Amino acid sequence: MLRQEMHEFVVNTRGRGFYEITEPVAAWLRGLHARNGLLTLHLRHTSASLLIQENADPEVRRDLERFFSRLAPDGDALFQHTAEGEDDMPAHIRTALTTVNVSIPVADSCLALGTWQGIYVWEHRHDPHGRRVAAHFIGE
Amino acid sequence: MLRQEMHEFVVNTRGRGFYEITEPVAAWLRGLHARNGLLTLHLRHTSASLLIQENADPEVRRDLERFFSRLAPDGDALFQHTAEGEDDMPAHIRTALTTVNVSIPVADSCLALGTWQGIYVWEHRHDPHGRRVAAHFIGE
Amino acid sequence: MLRQEMHEFVVNTRGRGFYEITEPVAAWLRGLHARNGLLTLHLRHTSASLLIQENADPEVRRDLERFFSRLAPDGDALFQHTAEGEDDMPAHIRTALTTVNVSIPVADSCLALGTWQGIYVWEHRHDPHGRRVAAHFIGE
């Protein structure tokens, strides 16, 4: 019998960087006794991202930061939307280049993530923020 | 009782730029009396994107244009696929760097978008196009 | 009557490049007699992508390769995570810049892809890999 469940996660960030949410999401699904279905997460912001990336060597995430900082540098003279600070427009750019939605099947009571995949909120602003992630599960 | 509904939106663009579709999508959901569920939109093209971005200061969208125009300039000598014009391959690049799919929960009869999030068709070609967006709702 | 179905596709890549999976996915849906619903694909890796792009002129895909090779070159001195080779960190970057999830409506027994849209596994590593794609269908 198919059913759906919804939740909102709040992730309190401490500035630019990666905040893994794989375990709280998996714990929510375990609490629902979700066996098979589809999980969707939607980040309700325009200056942070949801990213599925390697959860092993943390140097991967530091290199992601280095790359995106070079690609869309804080304070780039190209940008006109600067009222909220030098990191505001680069944050919107990073969000546009990545994503705010992920949909992942749930099979045999587990998220169908690969061995090395973790789900991260990627904060692009330097200041701390409370980031809200809407979650939806449909299945059995 | 779970159900699903489908629709196709057509967005007539007037050349490169952002065309907000948040309200027509919300109106469709209201017409369905959708209360809780999952909305998915899929843009059926390879030279335009669906983008969830800030709906307040329009300078954000102009800066997005500036950034992507610098990153993948029209007429870049790197590109071999030029038969359809100087903006054709940059349009494919922009689409690859962003997305053509979004999935957003619907909670208490509202899309779970953040305060500053709008849904846009981002046209990457200079000529006007009729862009089709397939919509799917599942829920109650 | 709504139902869901799940599957895992394995795509054996022969190194960096595009591997179209549109037809095996469509064949799976035909085998299910799927009429209307939502298909979700999730690639279970962090150094390859799922990409919906033009399936006509193969030069488009070669230009995508050229562009991403220029944007995140193999062996870029910026990267510290190099233990697995010069193409490892560029592969993670390409994955972050694109996506590992797609959700596409199914309408009247067909994927709601546009005329020129194909679904590709985009391998970013030079060595061959077995890439797993989790598939989920919900609908009728």
pLDDT of residue C118: 98
Banded pLDDT at B45 (limits 50, 70, 90): very high
pLDDT of residue C62: 97
CA–CA min distance A127, chain C (Å): 23
pLDDT of residue C70: 98
Decide: B39 and B109 in contact? Cβ < 8 Å.
no
pLDDT of residue B19: 98
Tens-digit pLDDT profile for residues A111-125: 999 999 999 999 999
Tens-digit pLDDT profile for residues C3-34: 999 999 999 999 999 999 999 999 999 999 99
Res A83 pLDDT > 90: no
Residue B116 in tokens: 């500053």
Q: Which among C4, C93, C99 is the nearest to A67, CB-wise? A: C93
Rounded mean pLDDT, A2-7: 98
Res B107 pLDDT > 90: yes
Residue B46 in tokens: 């390879």
Contact B45 C117 (CB under 8 A): yes
Rounded mean pLDDT, A73-93: 96
Decide: B50 and B101 in contact? Cβ < 8 Å.
yes
| A-proximal residues of B, 3-32, CB under 8 Å | none
Rounded mean pLDDT, A90-101: 98
- What is the H or E stretch that residue C104 is in? strand C101-107
Contact C46 A139 (CB under 8 A): no
Contact C104 B134 (CB under 8 A): yes
Q: H helices within chain A, ranges in order?
A: 22-31, 59-71, 88-97
pLDDT of residue A135: 98
What count of residues does chain B have? 140
Between A and B, how many residue pairs show a Cβ–Cβ distance under 8 A? 96
Pairwise CA distance, residues A70 & C67, whole Å: 17
pLDDT of residue C125: 98
pLDDT of residue B60: 96
Query: What does pTM read for this prediction?
Result: 0.98
Q: Which residues contact A11 (CB under 8 A, 6 or more apart)?
A: A19, A21, A121, A130, A131, A132, A133
Contact C101 A103 (CB under 8 A): yes
Banded pLDDT at B83 (limits 50, 70, 90): confident
What count of residues does chain C have? 140
Res C83 pLDDT > 90: no
- When scoring A136, A137, A138, A140 by the number of chain B Cβ atoms within 10 A, the one with the most, hence best to mutate, is A136
Residue A42 in tokens: 């939607």
pLDDT of residue B139: 98
Tens-digit pLDDT profile for residues A8-29: 999 999 999 999 999 999 999 9
Q: Which residue has the tokens 């804080």?
A: A74
From residue C15, how far is each of B45, B116, C55, C121, C133 by CA, in Å?
27, 41, 19, 11, 17
Burial class (CB in 10 A: 0-12, 13-18, 19+), A22: middle
Chain C hits for B89, CB-CB cut-off 8 Å, are 60, 63
Q: Which residue has the tokens 């027509």?
A: B24
Chain C hits for B124, CB-CB cut-off 8 Å, are none
In angstroms, the first-to-last Cα distance of chain A is 6
Res B25 pLDDT > 90: yes
**To 10 degrees, the CA torsion angle through C91, C94, C95, C98?**
-160
pLDDT of residue B135: 98
Tens-digit pLDDT profile for residues C100-139: 999 999 999 999 999 999 999 999 999 999 999 999 999 9
Q: Please, what is the average pLDDT of chain C?
A: 97
Q: What is the ipTM of this complex?
A: 0.97
Burial class (CB in 10 A: 0-12, 13-18, 19+), B125: buried
Rounded mean pLDDT, B96-123: 98
- What is the H or E stretch that residue B96 is in? helix B88-97
B97 to chain C, any CB pair closer than 8 A? The answer is: yes
**Amino acid identity of B98?**
T
A63 conformational bin, left if phi > 0, alpha if psi -120 to 50, beta if neither: alpha
| Residue-wise DSSP of B34-47 | --SEEEEEEE--SS
Chain C hits for B96, CB-CB cut-off 8 Å, are 51, 53, 64, 97-98
Chain A hits for C73, CB-CB cut-off 8 Å, are none
B99 to chain C, any CB pair closer than 8 A? The answer is: yes
